[in-house]
Amino acid sequence: MNLLICDDEREIVDVLEIYLKNEGYTIYKAYSGEEALEILGESEVHLILLDIMMPGMDGMQTAVKIRETSNVPIIFLTAKGEDHDKIMGLTVGADDYITKPFNPLEVMARVKSQLRRYTQLGSCKIGQDIHGTGGLLLDDGSKKVQVDGEEVHLTPVEYKILLFLMEGMGRVFSIEQIYENVWEEPSYNSENTVAVHIRRIREKIEINPKEPKYLKVVWGIGYKIEKYPVQ
C-alpha cells in the first residue's frame, strides 16, 4: 500500500514515515499542496495524510482539487481542535481527521481502518447485491450507486453509510449506530461527523438536498432511507 504524507513541518513527516514504514507501507512525502498534487498525478496512492495549515495551497484547497478526480481516503492532520475546522475538513471531502499533537498509535489505527474500507470497496465481488428505492440503486457487487440512471461518485465512508442505511431500508438508525457501524469505534462526539457526511451524501443523491426524498432525518432519533417502489 502506498501512502502520501503532506505537511510543511518536515519533522512530522519524518516521524510518521518511520512509524508507517515499520508497518510495511511505501511512503511518498510532500511539503506543500502543490507537491502532493504532483505526486498524485505521477504515482498510485491509496491514502493521504494531509496537513490543513500549510503556506500557499492549504490542505482544504488541496483536498478540493483531489476530490475532483479521486476518492482516495484523506485523513486531515490539524493543530486546531475546534469543531468548525473538523466540519470544514469533512465538508471538503476528508474521511477522517487527527488533531495534533497526536499519538502515533492512533494514526496507525485510523490509517488501517480507512485502508480496510477503501480496499473492500475497491474489490468487486461475483454476483449482485442490489438495494433500491425509487430511482436510487446501490449495487454492492460493483460498488456503484445510481440515481435515475446516472452514476454518482461517493467516497468510501459515504458509500458505507449509504449501504448501511439501505440494508436497513425504512428503519431509523441513531447517529451512534451509524458511527459505530461505519467507523467501527465508539461514538464519542460523533454527531457533527455523521451530520456532515449525511449532508454530502444528500448533495449527491437528492434532487433537492434541502427537501430530501430518500435520506430522511427523524428529529431526535436519527436517519433512515425511505422506501419507494423501484423505478
Residue ranges per domain, the chain? 2-122, 130-225
What is the number of alpha carbons within 13 Å of residue 134 lying toward its C-beta? Answer: 17
**Residues 2-122, CATH architecture:** 3-Layer(aba) Sandwich (3.40)
Query: What distance, in Å, lies between the first and last C-alpha atoms of the chain?
Result: 40
Instruction: Beginning with the edge strand found earlier in the chain, give each strand of the sheet holding 136-139 in spatial order.
Output: 130-133, 136-139, 144-147, 150-152
DSSP 3-state of 107: helix
The CATH number of domain 130-225 is 1.10.10.10: yes
Residue showing cell 457533527? 192
**Residue range 4-58, pLDDT digits in tens:** 999 999 999 999 999 999 988 999 999 999 999 999 999 989 999 999 989 999 9
Q: Would you state the pLDDT for residue 123?
A: 37
CA–CA separation, 127 and 129 (whole Å): 7
Burial class from Cβ neighbours inside 10 Å (0-12, 13-18, 19+) for residue 84 reads exposed
pLDDT per position as a tens digit, 142-169: 888 999 888 999 999 999 999 999 988 8
Distance from the Cα of residue 117 to its chain's centroid: 9
| Whole-structure pTM value | 0.61
